[in-house]
Amino acid sequence: MGPLKFSRKNLGIPYALFMLVFVLFPLVLIVFYAFTDANGHFTISNFTDFFSRSSNLYVLLISFALAVLTTAICLIIAYPVAYILAKSGAKTRNVYLLLFILPMWINFVLRTAAMKELLFALDSIGIYNVTDWYFVNTVIGMVYDYLPFTILPIYTVLIKIDKNVMEASTDLGANGFQTFVRTTLPLSVPGIISAVTMVLLPSTTSYVISDTLGNSKVTIIGKLIENQFNIGTADSWHTGSAISLILLFFIFGTMLLTGKFTENSNTRGSGLW
């Protein structure tokens, strides 16, 4: 018996097993439960029942509205910050980047709880009314938690734009505003798309923030899925799987849509890393 030959391909075996057990197998289960009833018979009633209930459609609308609003606010705040960081000196840039990255090292739930305490502190001194603005509280929490994920992809693209391109724009007679609109902004589109993807999709399902800051009065689709799996009735897992599959289709559709904006781009480093 000859010696065992080791190949670099063998290093992928643990990763393949992990993907098989924790990704592919659960996905197969979700598809199975979504298209079957409590007796294991094929059906599409799980999907038709979901779309036939106005309460579910309302939750779906609230989830998308909350995600779109959060993403828009994050972009409005993040782009100027990323632009200033990209234009600042190396030492100043590194300090500010560290300040934005530090909150990401803290547990997600702890950050949300801290924001809740801050809002209640503002309420106690009469600046902000926490009890009447559950939706606004949720938006504030979403923006607070996902803002760093918006700044970093945009900054990564802006910092890699060739300065010679800006100088060429100036040499051709463009002023600062024209250079930004016609050169900087188009070149930073891949970073914007990456930021949108990293904020829009998670904020649709992040029910921890809506439960904590919205006092469980703002129900999003992620909470709806969790409720179905916690009910424990004969068909609750089938309904929850159908809702999960609907959300999965939405995620795939969003990824395909955003991919069309970046597939022809030559800008490198548009992602977070």
DSSP state letters, 71-124: HHHHHHHHHHHHHHHHHS-HHHHHHHHHHHHGGGGS-HHHHHHHHHHHHHHHHH
| Tens digit of pLDDT at every position of the chain (273 positions) | 555 566 777 788 888 899 999 989 999 999 999 999 988 899 999 999 999 999 999 999 999 999 999 999 999 999 999 999 988 887 888 888 888 888 778 888 888 888 888 888 888 888 887 777 888 899 999 999 999 999 999 999 999 888 888 778 877 788 878 888 888 888 899 999 999 988 988 888 888 898 888 877 888 998 889 888 888 777 889 999 999 999 888 888 877 776 655 555 544 444 443
Q: Which CATH superfamily is domain 54-262 in?
A: MetI-like (1.10.3720.10)
Contact 162, 192 (CB under 8 A): no
User: What is the pLDDT, as a whole number, of residue 32?
Assistant: 95
User: Who's near 60: CB < 8 A, 6+ residues apart?
Assistant: 221
Contact 83, 176 (CB under 8 A): no
Contact 184, 176 (CB under 8 A): no
User: Who's near 203: CB < 8 A, 6+ residues apart?
Assistant: 66, 67, 70, 71, 142, 146
User: Could you give the maximum distance between any two Cα atoms of the chain, in Å?
Assistant: 81
Contact 182, 109 (CB under 8 A): no
User: What is the pLDDT, as a whole number, of residue 30?
Assistant: 93
User: What is the pLDDT, as a whole number, of residue 106?
Assistant: 84
Q: Distance of CA 248 to CAs 15, 94, 150, 182, 231, Å?
A: 22, 37, 22, 36, 22
Model-level pTM? 0.82
Tokens representing 159?
């910092």
Q: What angle (nearest 5°) sits at the alpha carbon of residue 196, between those of residues 195 and 199?
A: 85
User: Closest Cα to residue 195, out of 240, 242, 232, 147?
Assistant: 147
User: What is the pLDDT, as a whole number, of residue 214?
Assistant: 83
User: What is the pLDDT, as a whole number, of residue 76?
Assistant: 96
Residue indicated by tokens 């798309």: 193
